[in-house]
Amino acid sequence: MLTLSSLADQAGLSHVKMTEHYLHPYGGYCPNPLTFLAAVAARTRRIRLMTGCLLPAFHHPVQLAAETAMVDALSGGRLDVGFARAYLPYEFETFGVRMDESRARYEATIKAVLRLWTEQGVSERTPFFSYQDATSLPRPVQPPHPPVWGAAVRSRQSFAWLGEQGFGLLVTPTLSSLAEMRDHIEVYREAFEDNHGSTGRSPRVAASLPLYVGATEVEAARTGDALLGEYLEVWAEATDSWRSTRSADYQGYTGMATAIRGLDVRALRESGGAVVGSVERVVDRVSEVRAELTADCFLWQVDFGGVTGQVAETSLRRFIDEVLPALAG
């Protein structure tokens, strides 16, 4: 991943993104995205560094504010901070956090981090944390603070809240049809415009999707479908704990593992839930998905399905050398 990050920086790509998870091959190999991104910062010069996402439910806001500001400083002001509510029951159980307080804790922590970044002598008293006269150090390099993004999956409330706050929106349209995700994105855009339209600021949407660019259609399907199959199986295993979990804060999540196992890899790439194909096919699919979702940028998952470094690098080089020029044209 460090090699791929350096390659992306040299090619002028916009972001490197890393996500926080624990205890399972589904994301658990990078429990601290900030540690990874600090290493990326040391070997790159231009590319922005995105947490996609940090999980506020498992952290104190003073910790999050200080550690994100430190990476912002180390990178010369290149950090984008994405937050997510977390959704895996075994993570909540391990950290001793109630899932039914997830949304309230998420919102309170993000608001506290924003104050710690921009104010001095901050005091907070919430059901989840409290402190008096706190001044977080170091201060962020970017004024007034690093760009903030939030992930939303299914809940219209989540899409609307991110728009109301003026944050960027992170989506992964793997379990939703592109049309359904487009409708959710419109909820976000409307909420953003209603609350921030007069400020000159614009909503920002980043879509994250698995990407594999093959030498031919046949090779892409052979390699990409195997990777997608492994990706879906590992994801389904991580969500198996939803079989016996219910939470008012996560309507519609029970039975997620069954839904994931019901996905067909060929249907997934044909529906736009993953972009797999030859250079020509990928150019067409990226254009179609971009138009459907009205996304401002893509965060391509090139490390999905237990892919080897060599295979991922070959795919990324094809994307950089052949797909991007064709899209620009």
- Put simply, whether the predicted model's pTM sits higher than 0.85 gets the answer yes
Task: Write out pLDDT tens, residues 180-237.
Answer: 999 999 999 999 999 998 998 999 999 999 999 999 999 999 999 999 999 999 999 9
In this prediction, residue 177 carries a pLDDT of 83
| The dihedral sign for the CA sequence 99, 101, 103, 109 | negative
> Would you identify the CATH topology of the domain 1-151?
TIM Barrel (3.20.20)
Name the H helices within 17-57. Answer: 33-43
Task: Write out pLDDT tens, residues 257-308.
Answer: 888 888 889 888 888 889 999 999 999 999 999 999 999 999 999 999 999 9
In this prediction, residue 269 carries a pLDDT of 84
Structure tokens that stand for 142 in this block: 């970017």
In this prediction, residue 323 carries a pLDDT of 98
Q: 């415009």: which residue's tokens?
A: 193
pLDDT at 69 over 80: yes
Please return the burial class of 290, using the count of CB atoms within 10 Å of its CB with bins 0-12, 13-18 and 19+: middle
User: Using CA atoms, how far apart are residues 31 and 301, in angstroms rounded to an integer?
Assistant: 17
User: What average pLDDT does this structure show over 309-329?
Assistant: 96
Q: Are strands 168-171 and 297-301 parallel, antiparallel or unpaired?
A: unpaired
pLDDT at 176 over 80: no
Domain borders along the chain are: 1-151
pLDDT at 17 over 90: yes
In this prediction, residue 281 carries a pLDDT of 96
Task: Write out pLDDT tens, residues 230-268.
Answer: 999 999 999 998 988 888 888 888 888 888 888 889 888
